[in-house]
Amino acid sequence: MPEKIMIEKKVLSENDILAQELRKKFQEHSVFVINLVSSPGSGKTSLLEKTIGQLNDKLNIALVAGDVQTENDANRLIKAGGKMVRPIVTGGSCHLDASMILKSIEQFDLAKIDLFVIENVGNLVCPSSYDLGEDMKIVLISTTEGDDKPLKYPGMFRRSSVMIVNKTDLLGFSDFELHTVKENAKKINGQLKVFELSCRTGDGLPKWFDWLVEQVAFKKSDNW
C-alpha cells in the first residue's frame, strides 16, 4: 500500500508541474479556460453544442473533447459549428491529464483564442484530482441522476467553482429534487455558483451564455 501511495503522489506531482506550465501559457494570452466534468450522459456535449451555436460570433472558442474510445463528441462539436476542435482519445484512461492538454494546444494559436473548453471524460472521480491548467472546474449533473451526487462525489464538487443542473425540463418525472441537490452541493462547497437549465428547451441557457462572456472579458481585463 505505501508504494502505491508514493507512485500516485509522483504522478500527480508531475501532472501539477505541467498544469502550471499550461496555466502560464493561458495567462500570457488571457485565455479563459474551463474544465467541464460530469457523469456520462449528463449533457456536456449538448451544452457545448448550444454554447457554440450562440457564442461563435462573439468569442473565438477552442475545444478539446476527451473520450475513452471514440471521436464522436468532437465530431458533434464540429458539426455544431466548432471552428477549433480537437479530440483526445484516452484509450481507456478515465480522465484527461495535463500532458494530453499540453500536447493538444500545440495545434492552436492561443493568441487567437478567447475561450478554451476542456470536455473531460465522463467521470466524477478521477478528473477531480487532475489539474489541467484551467481557471475553474465546472461540474454538470442532470435531473435524471440522483440529487445526492454531491454527497457521493464530494471531491469533484469541492474542487469545482460552478455546478450546472441540466435537463430541468424533466423535473417531476423522477424523485430528483432541485432544492435538495443544491443543499447537498452547498454542504460540500458553499461557494458554488449554480446554473439551472435545459439544453433541450433552452430554458436557463441565456444566463449561462452571458456569464461565459463576462468571464472571458474579466480574464482579459487588468483585474484578473
Residue with cell 494530453: 100
Of 167, 156, 162, 219, nearest to 191 by C-alpha is 162
Whether 10 shows a pLDDT value over 70: the answer reads no
How far from the centroid of its chain's Cα atoms is residue 110's Cα?
19
**If DSSP codes are grouped into helix, strand and coil, which group holds residue 67?**
strand
Find all residues with CB under 8 Å of 95, minimum gap 6, and list them: 66, 120, 121, 123, 126, 127, 129, 130
Cα dihedral value 130, 26, 28, 62, nearest 10: 170
Q: Choose the weakest-confidence range: 19-28, 37-46, 87-96, 98-107.
A: 87-96
Whether 222 shows a pLDDT value over 80: the answer reads no
Tell me if 176 sits within 8 A of 143, measured CB to CB: yes
| Arithmetic mean of pLDDT over the chain | 93
Find all residues with CB under 8 Å of 117, minimum gap 6, and list them: 33, 34, 36, 48, 51, 61, 62, 63, 64
Whether 166 shows a pLDDT value over 50: the answer reads yes
Per-domain residue ranges of the chain: 2-220
In tens, the pLDDT along 13-26 reads 899 999 999 999 99
In tens, the pLDDT along 100-140 reads 999 999 989 999 999 999 999 999 999 999 999 999 999 99
Q: What is the CATH number of domain 2-220?
A: 3.40.50.300
Cross-strand partners of 193 = 162
Q: Read off the pLDDT of each residue in 64-71 and give the average, rounded to a whole number.
A: 92
pLDDT at 7: 43
pLDDT at 3: 43
Find all residues with CB under 8 Å of 214, minimum gap 6, and list them: none
Q: Read off the pLDDT of each residue in 56-60 and give the average, rounded to a whole number.
A: 97
pLDDT at 1: 45
pLDDT band for 145, please (50, 70, 90 cuts). Answer: very high
pTM: 0.92
Q: What are phi and psi of 43, to 5 degrees?
A: 120, 25
